[in-house]
Amino acid sequence: MKAGGFLAMKRFLCLYGVVLGFLFLPSCGPEEPPIDSFEYGDLFENVADNMIVPRYAQFQSNLLALQARLNAFDASDVQTLISLQEQFKATYLSWQSVSAFEFGPAAEYSALLRINCNSFPALTDTIEENIQFGTYNLDFPSNYQAKGLPAFDYLLFHADQNELLLELNDPSRIAYLQDCLADMQGRVDEVVNAWDSYRDIFVSSYGNDQSSSLSLLFNYFLYDYEQIKRNKFALPAGFATSFGIPIAMDTSKVEGFYSGKSFELIHANLTALESVYLGIGENGIDGIGIYEMLKAYNAISTVVDGDLSEAIADQFVLCKELVNQFANDLPYEIVNNISQVQETSNELQKMVPMIKNDMRSYFSVTVTLGDSDGD
Amino acid sequence: MAINSNFSISKIIKWSYADTSIAPLVVFRIIFGLMMFAGTLRFWLKGWIHDFFILPDHFFHYYGFEWVKPMGEFEMYTIFSLLLISSLFIALGFFYRTSSILFFLLFTYVELIDVTNYLNHYYFISLVSFLMCLLPANRFFSCDVLRCPEKALKYIPNWTVAILKFQLGLVYFFAGLAKLNYDWLFDAMPMSIWLQAKTHWPLVGTYFTEKWVAYGLSWMACIFDLTVAFLLLSKRFRPFAYLTLVIFHVITGLMFPIGMFPWIMILVTLIFFSPDFHEKIIAFIRLIFNLKQATSLGHNSLALAGFKKKFLTGFLFIYVIVQMLLPFRYLTYPGDLFWTEQGYRFSWRVMLIEKAGTAFFYVTDPETGNRGEVKNCDFLTPNQEKMMATQPDLILQYAHIIKNEVESRGLKDPIINAQVYVTLNGSRSKLFIDPEVDLTTLQDDFKPKDWILDN
């Protein structure tokens, strides 16, 4: 009788084991993507093939063109200065379209594009010292703000054309610009090449954990947006803090201070994010974007009435409009028109909960590292 | 329950000390130990020791436990190594008393480091591991008994198993009680939101947009939680109840990122089964590992008497009462519990609400009048920021963290305000706390927080 009970028990436990084993298998996957990986694949493919890769290529070719203008620069010919300046502006605008993709190849230590290409405001004293002594290592963190696009911005725009022509007659200044350019080119070339193979990894990723494409795309989208709000707007306008200490207004902290194109750069940055959101590729084709994903969820906004996908799209339009409404560049407006700057800042801020809370919750993107029980 | 008559109390006490088989407790010990081992290992392998205890610059304290601080990297990894060892020792019944006390203390220490890591599941583990310190779970089929066969017991008092069943039942019952609210029952919220995100599920996914599915699941979850413990106690309904429980936990495990919890619950609730069932499990383990039947089976039972018994009776009585009252402490606070979260923790409110917040903190220099927005990532990890943004006591703590940071950098008496927008169960985001109030002038206490705005 005992043996019989034993057998029955054994059978029960075996069955139990099989059932449990079956149950445990998908237990690795409670952090599954909320919509199936096929659809995410569409989003990732569109973003990679029609945005990230062509945008990096554009930035790369802009740097090449900048190199050509720099090589062709002749301190006795003001036209060559103007064409160099024009190409720099185009390059700076083109940077705005890749700054949101600081993951994968761009986040490699040898690349770190954002910090190496666009740490502003420029440390002009460091730049001058570097040029004067000629002994500098641009890889040092102490030089982050003395190179890249802000260094160009300073060296090519900080004085009037005649003065600049005089200054740039000094070969060490040109050499410094060439070094800064080569530094950026090396990093961007690396990123462009790495995307050849990273593209397939990016596109085929599924899930929403920390290292998933969904999480990377979302988090750096948000990060890039918050950079606009804080570094490009709040910091110079005196709305920000540094480790909690309120920082006084300092208009020299705007992006592109010397070339006087802050609003244009901010506008370009917003437009770049907006087209990632809408899924509009560099070829102009409107494909699958975050907008379409939110639509598919019937996502509701908690910040304004109605549909989340529309609310975010509208907010992008509104923010771009507000940025466009300023008659002068940001430093002037900060000093003379702070209330309108504040109003624009408020509208920029309104977007944050829409992205950070609403969008994240519909995508179930994990910011939270650990488990949750929903409280 | 007829507690008002002395007669039934003495009957309960008498029953509590009457003999029952030790087998269920032994199986519980093995399962608990192994699950804790697996859970700790998982935590380690996911890199969370570093992320939760090494990485953050600041930690959110539990009221009254401000003195609990994380240790250095080496010490934290040592603690987790000890957790691994002690949980394994619990399963083996090896130096059981020391191991269980060590596990309880270390686990609870780790949980007390940062409120933003609070999970009802962790609280549950702390409580169970505390109870395990008191229970003679190593007195049969254990390394301890192998070393001292005279310690072997065949029978133990009923209360030892009953207190665990009580603890488990409580989790379900209160989780069910908490679901008795308007949003859950009559608006199918937040179930609708959760289902919306799972519409890609094969076969069933297409139904997840249907309102009736959300209502059905809400009501079923509520009824399940309220009744399952009682059904598990009844011999007749036990198989049905357990099957339902397995299905319930598997579904929640697939739907939510709740880690090991569903699997732990599926296994530990086996304790509701009969001693006979557990004796068969032990026999089966013996068979697999080719373990010999112990020579002396130990027919003696655990006899408690005198002061020890009185003390234990009193202690258990208080424990049970406190556990039953704690979830109701929210009644002493005004306002909507889910909104204010005053008295929310330690009450088995598991997967109950969907809440998210965005918090903008502003520091004003009283001398210059300069006012700036705080960059939360200067001080907090993304996880801490997310947790803080919906819980008033943590918002207040964060303001004081900012104050200390700012003062250490030379700005005295800063004014700190916060604009916090919170959405609860998919409702419109609303201002959560008074944006005008200077948070540095407030201290956390158990009094109602009148600076929380109405929902």
Residue B450 lies in a domain: no
pTM for this predicted structure: 0.87
Rounded to the nearest integer, the mean pLDDT of chain B is 92
Q: Using CA atoms, how far apart are residues B396 and B399, in angstroms rounded to an integer? A: 5
Nearest-5° Cα angle at B406, B402 to B408: 120
Test A27 with B263 for CB contact under 8 angstroms.
yes
Length of chain A: 375
B249 shares a domain with B192? yes
Query: Which residue among B51, B372, B429 places its CB closest to the CB of A369?
Result: B51
Query: Given the structure tokens 């959300």, which residue do they identify?
Result: B214
B264: tokens are 């732990």
B323 shares a domain with B255? no
| A312-358 tens-digit pLDDT | 999 999 999 999 999 999 999 999 999 999 999 999 999 998 998 88
Strand partners, B371: B364
B107 shares a domain with B154? yes
Q: Using CA atoms, how far apart are residues A125 and A145, in angstroms rounded to an integer? A: 10
Structural domains of chain A, with CATH: 35-363 (1.20.1420.20)
Residue B154 lies in a domain: yes
Strand partners, A56: none
| B387-400 tens-digit pLDDT | 999 999 999 999 99
- Stated as kind and residue range, the H or E segment containing A203 is helix A171-204
pLDDT at residue A365 in the model:
65
B415 shares a domain with B300? no
Contacting residues for B259 by C-beta, under 8 A, at least 6 apart: A30, A370, A371, B39, B42, B121
Test B429 with A5 for CB contact under 8 angstroms.
no
Residue B232 lies in a domain: yes
Length of chain B: 455
B368 shares a domain with B299? no
Is residue A210 within 8 Å of A365, Cβ to Cβ? Answer: no
A339: tokens are 């209330």
Where b means 16+ CB within 10 Å and e means fewer, B95-111 reads bbeebbbbbbbbbbbbb
**A15, burial (CB in 10 Å: exposed 0-12, middle 13-18, buried 19+):** exposed
End-to-end C-alpha distance for chain B, whole angstroms:
37
Range of the domain at B31: 18-178+273-334
B202 shares a domain with B72? no
Q: Using CA atoms, how far apart are residues B373 and A300, in angstroms rounded to an integer? A: 28
Percent of chain B with pLDDT over 90: 79
Query: Given the structure tokens 């919306």, which residue do they identify?
Result: B196
Where b means 16+ CB within 10 Å and e means fewer, B349-373 reads bbbbbbbbbbbbbbbbbeeeebbbb
Q: Is A269 a residue whose pLDDT tops 70?
A: yes
B171 shares a domain with B35? yes
In whole angstroms, how far apart are CA A240 and each of A232, A341, B238, B263, B364? 11, 13, 61, 46, 10
Residue B1 lies in a domain: no
Contacts of A367 in chain B (CB under 8 A): 382-383, 386
Residue B383 lies in a domain: yes
B192 shares a domain with B84? no
B194 shares a domain with B130? no
Q: Using CA atoms, how far apart are residues A336 and A321, in angstroms rounded to an integer? A: 19
Residue B365 lies in a domain: yes
Task: Locate the chain A residue with the closest alpha carbon to B351.
Answer: A374
The domain total for chain B is: 3
Task: Locate the chain A residue with the closest alpha carbon to B247.
Answer: A23
Q: Using CA atoms, how far apart are residues A186 and A190, in angstroms rounded to an integer? A: 6
Query: Which residue among B52, B260, B365 places its CB closest to the CB of A246?
Result: B365
Test B258 with A9 for CB contact under 8 angstroms.
no
Q: Of A162-166, A305-309, B256-260, where does the model show the most confidence?
A: A162-166
Contacts of B258 in chain A (CB under 8 A): 30, 371-373
Q: Using CA atoms, how far apart are residues A229 and A234, in angstroms rounded to an integer? A: 6
B230-235: long-range contacts at Cβ-Cβ below 8 A with a sequence spacing of 24 or more? Answer: B230/B169, B232/B165, B232/B169, B232/B269, B232/B272, B233/B165, B233/B169, B233/B272, B235/B274
Q: Using CA atoms, how far apart are residues B431 and B390, in angstroms rounded to an integer? A: 11
Is residue B154 within 8 Å of B203, Cβ to Cβ? Answer: no
Indicate which of A11, A218, A372, A373 best probes the interface with B, i.e. most B CBs within 10 Å of its own CB. A373
CA distance B12 to chain A (A): 33
Contacts of B363 in chain A (CB under 8 A): 241, 244-246
Test B256 with A33 for CB contact under 8 angstroms.
no
For the beta carbon of residue A115, count every other beta carbon within 10 angstroms: 13
Q: Is A281 a residue whose pLDDT tops 50?
A: yes
Query: Given the structure tokens 């419109």, which residue do they identify?
Result: B428
Q: Using CA atoms, how far apart are residues B125 and B127, in angstroms rounded to an integer? A: 5
Residue B13 lies in a domain: no
End-to-end C-alpha distance for chain A, whole angstroms:
51
Please report which confidence band the pLDDT of residue B306 belongs to, taking 50, 70 and 90 as the band edges.
confident
Q: Using CA atoms, how far apart are residues A251 and A249, in angstroms rounded to an integer? A: 6
CA distance B154 to chain A (A): 19
Query: Which residue among A20, A244, A362 places its CB closest to the CB of B406?
Result: A244
B169 shares a domain with B72? yes
Percent of chain B with pLDDT over 70: 96
Residue B8 lies in a domain: no
Report ipTM for this prediction: 0.80
Closest by CA to B386, choosing from A19, A90, A360, A192, is: A360
Pairing of β A245-246 and β B19-21: unpaired
Structural domain ending residue among the three candidates B234, B251, B270: B270
Test A374 with B352 for CB contact under 8 angstroms.
yes
Test A364 with B351 for CB contact under 8 angstroms.
no
| A71-84 tens-digit pLDDT | 999 999 999 999 99
The more confident residue out of B239 and A38 is: B239
The mean-pLDDT minimum among A203-207, B4-8, B169-173, B324-328 falls in B4-8
Map residue B410 onto helix, strand or coil: coil
The DSSP letter of residue B433 is B
B428 shares a domain with B364? yes
B231 shares a domain with B369? no
